[in-house]
Chain A
Amino acid sequence: MKVEIVNKERPVLSEKAKAEIQTVIGYYPEGKSKSAILRVLHIVEEEAGGWLSPDTMDMVAEILNITAIEVYEVATFYTMFNLHPVGKYVFEVCHTGPCMLVGSDNIIKYIEDKLNIKVGGTTSDGMFTLKTAECLGACGYGPMLQCGKFYHEHLTPEKVDELIEACRRDEVKIY
């Protein structure tokens, strides 16, 4: 299947992203390209600044040759997808049982105070968004947070300070 993108209010996909989308569609049998939807949404979200607008989702529908509603229902079901604009760095702090036992509540509170935002909020400079997440599979290494693709484990207030400073210096890898 050939990927053709008509540009409305849509992200302009890089050549690398277009090629990757072609590749991952090829991972499924002929006629089953809908199966690539989650992978494509991850790729496109990264290209679109970390969130999926309705226009972006419509673009994914065209790429996969499915209806727009099929994309909306998937994007709204899976909690990883942001349906509203977010900051450049999204901190998703795990707050499920095993992390709570080792102090995730305190880390969340510390980040809230430090960045002067509540969970769900974004700093006014658009740099940071704070969210909570359910179990991220790092229970032995908590408290922890995910930023972009990567995990930051064994968090302490000092480590959070370092991470935030490193983000401000543009030294933290997201993708």
Chain B
Amino acid sequence: MGRKLLLEHIDVPGIETFEVYRQKGGYRSVEKALKSMSPDEVVEEVKKSGLRGRGGAGFPTGMKWSFLAKPEGVPRYLLCNADESEPGTFKDRYLMQYLPHLLIEGMIVSSFALGTNLSYIYIRGEYLFVLEILEKAIAEAYANGFLGKNILGTGYDLDLRVSPGGGAYICGEETALIESLEGKRGNPRIKPPFPAVKGLWGCPTVVNNVESLATVVPIINMGADEYVKIGTEQSRGTKLISACGNLERPGVYEIDLGLSVEEFIYGDDWCRGIKNGKQLKALVPGGSSVPILPTHLITKTANGDTRFMSYESLSDGGFASGSMLGSGGFIAFDEDQCIVRNTWNFTRFYAHESCGQCSPCREGTAWMEKVLWRIENGEGTMEDIALLEDINKKIEGNTICPLGDAAAWPVASAIRHFREEFEWHIKHPQEAMSRNYGLLKGATV
């Protein structure tokens, strides 16, 4: 079992309460940062740690923080992105549900570093039961002097509040999140201006993922010099991976970045292989948006090197033969799974979640879903494959926000690596139908 920086105390009974969390050393990083460091020193420490955003894009957190504009007399805001909605990703919920104080602690230190006096956790609406857990923990933090006025007598004031969404994947995009927090539809904004300059209510704003903010706690506690010893040069520290699909032991794991993919899938400490003794057919390593990998590119790169769980190794080979670490939503497909059906399923997701603002995404995702559905149901033609590729190219890069790209990549990679399976569906319509899980056309799926 690997080292645990975030999940160390997850199994301690009562760890969701302030009392137990504090007994286990909780809130030490707040004491250290507020009493012995300046805000800029905290920012520098996070920069030095090499922490990269854990929501999916992997942008360096410290650098994002250093972009925050600080005009005199204008409030600034820190928003925690807890809109976790990327299919395959459920690590943030796990962290918030069982270790609510860890996120709160990380947010206090981060808010101090950025000089914000009001911060929000924007949580997806479906997690209302987690919102209640967080608010209970926040009330405890207020009662114990870690939130509110003059925290620990240092003169620093911070209010922390939770704000729910209402069921919209797009609100995980930071400018859509800001729109939503302003009480509007979640339509992403055109950038620039970037949120660091003009974000919530027109003020400078930083948006960070739940896990990124929680990771600030061990970074401050152990110091960046120690933190950088974990992981690889381009992927420092530990990362939560939410493993799902046809695995023997799915769940949330904290790994040292740089663990081999093979060890993670088959190791006794981790997923223990594919369920029911089946073979692994394909893998989506970083949430539904990232390219799917076929069998021969999962544990090895195209060059035959070992593939590791890190930003650089998972993307080795680019989109031709690699994928991305993304959000850590690790989806395994066994030998019986139909790639066409899954590609259709993911595309339906994006068609459903498109905000409708940009035509290429609004029209293109719905169109791709229709074409994929007819291929899956034995009504496709060979031209449909080229049509999908064509629509794909017209969505990618042509939208305000990355949802368009996120919708395009799974389709492009599935065709790239599993073209034969698409062709098989088209050439064998009857068999394609019978493989269709017994569901007939028109079934309400």
Q: Are A139 and B125 CB-contacts (below 8 A) given A27-B163, A42-B164, A100-B345?
A: no
B331 smallest CB distance to A (angstroms): 5
- A134 is contacted by which of B181, B183, B251, B349 (Cβ under 8 Å)? B349
B275 smallest CB distance to A (angstroms): 9
Distance between Cα atoms of A35 and B5 in the complex (Å)? 35
In the bound complex, residues from chain A placing their C-beta under 8 Å from that of B86 are: 135
Contact with A along B89-109 (1 / 0, CB 8 A): 110110000000000000000
- The reply to whether B125 and A78 form a contact with Cβ atoms under 8 Å apart is yes
Q: Are A139 and B244 CB-contacts (below 8 A) given A32-B201, A98-B88?
A: yes
- The reply to whether B349 and A137 form a contact with Cβ atoms under 8 Å apart is no
Interface size class of B (residues with CB under 8 A): 35 or more
- The reply to whether B244 and A137 form a contact with Cβ atoms under 8 Å apart is no
In the bound complex, residues from chain B placing their C-beta under 8 Å from that of A157 are: none
Report A62-88 residues with CB < 8 Å from chain B CB.
64, 66, 70, 73-74, 77-81
- The reply to whether A134 and B166 form a contact with Cβ atoms under 8 Å apart is no
- The reply to whether A77 and B246 form a contact with Cβ atoms under 8 Å apart is no
In the bound complex, residues from chain B placing their C-beta under 8 Å from that of A96 are: 87, 288, 345-346, 349
Q: Are A74 and B246 CB-contacts (below 8 A) given A80-B126, A134-B169, A137-B85?
A: no
Q: Does B112 contact A (CB under 8 A)?
A: no
Chain A residue nearest in CB terms to B171: A78
Distance between Cα atoms of A149 and B346 in the complex (Å)? 25
B310 smallest CB distance to A (angstroms): 22
In the bound complex, residues from chain A placing their C-beta under 8 Å from that of B333 are: 101
- B184 is contacted by which of A27, A74, A135, A140 (Cβ under 8 Å)? A74
Q: Does B208 contact A (CB under 8 A)?
A: no
In the bound complex, residues from chain B placing their C-beta under 8 Å from that of A48 are: none
Q: Are A42 and B166 CB-contacts (below 8 A) given A27-B161, A101-B245?
A: yes
Q: Does B118 contact A (CB under 8 A)?
A: yes
Q: Does A172 contact B (CB under 8 A)?
A: no
Which of A80, A95, A141 gathers the greatest number of chain B CB atoms within 10 Å?
A80
Distance between Cα atoms of A67 and B258 in the complex (Å)? 53
Distance between Cα atoms of A80 and B180 in the complex (Å)? 14
- The reply to whether A97 and B87 form a contact with Cβ atoms under 8 Å apart is yes
Q: Does B186 contact A (CB under 8 A)?
A: yes
Distance between Cα atoms of A132 and B445 in the complex (Å)? 8
Distance between Cα atoms of A114 and B52 in the complex (Å)? 48
Distance between Cα atoms of A26 and B168 in the complex (Å)? 24
Chain B residue nearest in CB terms to A121: B444
In the bound complex, residues from chain B placing their C-beta under 8 Å from that of A38 are: 125, 163-166, 180, 183
In the bound complex, residues from chain B placing their C-beta under 8 Å from that of A106 are: 437
Distance between Cα atoms of A79 and B351 in the complex (Å)? 13
- The reply to whether A80 and B166 form a contact with Cβ atoms under 8 Å apart is yes
- The reply to whether A137 and B167 form a contact with Cβ atoms under 8 Å apart is no
B59 smallest CB distance to A (angstroms): 22
- The reply to whether B444 and A39 form a contact with Cβ atoms under 8 Å apart is no
- The reply to whether B183 and A139 form a contact with Cβ atoms under 8 Å apart is no
- The reply to whether B169 and A97 form a contact with Cβ atoms under 8 Å apart is no
Distance between Cα atoms of A151 and B201 in the complex (Å)? 34
In the bound complex, residues from chain B placing their C-beta under 8 Å from that of A21 are: none
Distance between Cα atoms of A132 and B246 in the complex (Å)? 21
- The reply to whether B251 and A140 form a contact with Cβ atoms under 8 Å apart is yes
A47 smallest CB distance to B (angstroms): 14
A23 smallest CB distance to B (angstroms): 10
Distance between Cα atoms of A74 and B168 in the complex (Å)? 11
Q: Are A34 and B183 CB-contacts (below 8 A) given A27-B163, A95-B445, A134-B349?
A: yes
Distance between Cα atoms of A106 and B342 in the complex (Å)? 15
In the bound complex, residues from chain B placing their C-beta under 8 Å from that of A132 are: 444-445
- The reply to whether A134 and B352 form a contact with Cβ atoms under 8 Å apart is yes
In the bound complex, residues from chain B placing their C-beta under 8 Å from that of A42 are: 125, 128, 164, 166
Report B136-179 residues with CB < 8 Å from chain A CB.
161, 163-169
Distance between Cα atoms of A150 and B352 in the complex (Å)? 23
Q: Are A140 and B444 CB-contacts (below 8 A) given A34-B183, A80-B167, A97-B288?
A: no
- B93 is contacted by which of A74, A98, A120, A137 (Cβ under 8 Å)? A137
B contact residues vs A (CB 8 Å cutoff)? 84-90, 92-93, 118, 124-129, 161, 163-169, 180-186, 201, 242-246, 250-252, 288, 329, 331, 333, 337, 341-342, 345-346, 349, 352-353, 355, 437, 439, 443-445
Could you list 17 A-B pairs, sorted by A, with CB under 8 Å? A36-B183, A77-B166, A77-B168, A79-B166, A79-B352, A97-B88, A97-B342, A102-B244, A132-B445, A134-B85, A135-B169, A135-B349, A137-B84, A137-B90, A137-B93, A140-B243, A141-B90
The list of the 10 closest CB pairs from A to B, nearest first, reads A78-B166, A80-B167, A34-B183, A140-B250, A139-B244, A119-B444, A79-B167, A37-B183, A77-B185, A27-B161
